[in-house]
Amino acid sequence: MPDCGAAATGLPWRLCRPSPAQRAARRGGKSSARISPAIASAWSAPRARWGIDKKLYAGGSRSLSLSRETKKYVFFTWPLLVFLVITLAAVAFGSLDINWQGWERATCWGDKCFCESPRQGTVAQPSNTYSNLSYVLVGLWIIDTARRYPLWNFSRWAIDSLQSGLSYHRMPGEAHNLMDSRRIYPLLYGISVVTTGLGSLFYHASLTIVGQWFDLMGMFLLVSFIVLYNLARLARLSHKGFFVAYIALNAGLGFIQFIIPEIGGQVFAVLLVIGLVIEILYMIIRRPRFSGGYLYAATATFTSAYIIWNLDYYGILCSPYSILQGHAAWHLLTAVAAGLLFLHYRSETGQQREIPSAGSTQSS
């Protein structure tokens, strides 16, 4: 192995033998030996190219600040990798020979469980089942934004999350909205989106009452987050109060769904309307500023999905044995709407619009 001299400045550190002075300089130690500018630039070039630089975060924890290109690379290394594992697990689950005949059927059984005709085997409705993986992908992306540390320092991130799970997600002064202020908000929101996808996947695969409970619980986790998050923005609810209310509300919703499974859809609709009303009140009272039209895009996407849901449910557009199903499109579009809503929450700048006074209005 050649020495890392001036002639080997183009070689990576692993392909040459550094001198004691070079090793000391690499560790940040002091050495009386002089390091040539060529070797120093060869060592700093990869750090500059990848945009790696140590940065002090709130609480005294050190992490790595990554460039935009590196963040894109990290995104494709862990959320998509986990998504691939979950997808392969779902396909393997579908290849099993599971008989759902001994299970109590969902409340829609015997009437109409959407347009897609139930098949024999493990997966009763293939299109409606595997389209739920879109929620998983969106949820993993949202969870990824809650990470303070990069992928290769995952153990440090996990330990920090356990020790200070409610700590600042960004440095003080950088968080302009509630979603960026505490890591608990994107973490819970992402988990609720993933749970919605997995619960609905199990429901459409089995069409059982157990699957129906998991399906609606995922929906409850998502819509209750929207309600409480909007309430926290409007009424200045603390993050601890938000967490306690979130757990208590979903425990109650889960119990109601267990006792009276027939009213789950109506409860979800009521909570969704409540969340929308609180959002409108927040817009009127707090008058926040947003960058981008993510809320309008999310509303348009969800409205389109709801129209398709009705066309599929009432058989207006229905082909029972086709791969293209309206309810599967509902899953895809609502997953996109959940991602757009998350971008809407993060686009809030926290600045208030100035309300003109009565005197200035009269003078104009």
DSSP letters, 45-62, are HHHHHHT-EEEEPTTS-E
Same domain, 40 and 98: no
Regarding whether 234 and 120 lie in a shared domain, the answer is: yes
Please report, for residues 72, 98, 160, the alpha-carbon distance to residue 155 in angstroms, rounded to integers and kept in the order given: 21, 37, 9
Residue 291 — very low, low, confident or very high, per pLDDT cuts 50/70/90? confident
Q: Phi/psi at 52 (nearest 5 deg)?
A: -90, 130
Identify the domain containing residue 227 by its residue range: 69-352
Task: Examine the domain organization and report whether 283 and 163 are in the same domain.
Answer: yes
Question: pLDDT-derived band of residue 152, with 50, 70 and 90 as boundaries?
Answer: very low
Could you tell me if 208 and 103 are in contact, meaning their C-beta atoms sit under 8 angstroms apart? yes
Q: What is the arithmetic mean of pLDDT over 309-335? A: 94
Residues 100 and 42 occupy one common structural domain: no
User: Do 130 and 160 fall into the same domain?
Assistant: yes
Confidence tier at 262 by pLDDT (50, 70, 90): confident
Per-residue pLDDT of 72-92, as tens digits, reads 445 457 788 899 999 999 999
User: Where does 257-356 show beta strands of DSSP type E?
Assistant: 288-290, 348-352
Question: pTM to 2 decimals?
Answer: 0.72
pLDDT digits (tens, 9 = 90+) for 334-351: 999 999 999 999 998 864
> Do 40 and 141 belong together in one domain?
no
Instruction: Note whether residue 362 is domain-resident.
Output: no
pLDDT for 200: 96
Asked if the structure places residue 1 within a domain, the reply is no
Beta carbons of 239 and 225 less than 8 angstroms apart = no
Q: Are 99 and 124 in contact (CB under 8 A)?
A: no
For 24, phi and psi rounded to 5 degrees?
A: -65, -40
Residues 336 and 231 both lie in one domain: yes
Give me the chain's average pLDDT, please: 77
Nearest C-alpha neighbor of 98 from the set 202, 18, 23? 202
Within a domain: residue 59?
A: no
Task: Classify residue 55: in a domain, yes or no.
Answer: no
**Is residue 361 assigned to a domain?**
no
Q: What is the dihedral of CA 336, 341, 343, 347, to 10 degrees?
A: 160
All residues at 6 or more sequence positions from 342 whose CB lies less than 8 Å from its CB, including other chains = 142, 179, 186, 189
Does residue 363 lie in a domain region? no
**CA dist 205 to 112, 139, 226, Å?**
15, 20, 27
Whether residue 202 sits in one domain with residue 136: yes
Number of domains comprising the chain? 2
Domain assignment of residue 172, yes or no: yes
In order, the DSSP letters of 167-179 are: SBSS-TTT--SHH
> Is there a single domain that holds both residue 183 and residue 39?
no
The predicted-structure confidence for 293-319, as pLDDT tens digits, reads as follows 899 999 999 999 999 999 999 989 999
Instruction: Provide long-range contacts, Cβ within 8 A and 24+ apart, for 150-155.
Output: 150/63, 150/64, 150/66, 150/70, 150/74, 151/74, 151/77, 151/78, 153/63, 153/64
- Please check the confidence at residue 112 and state whether its pLDDT lies above 80: no
Residue 82 and residue 45 in one domain: no
The DSSP 8-state label assigned to residue 166 in this structure reads T
Q: Are residues 256 and 303 in the same domain?
A: yes
Identify whether residues 25 and 132 lie together within a single domain: no
Let me know if residue 220 belongs to a domain. yes
For residues 202-211, average pLDDT = 94
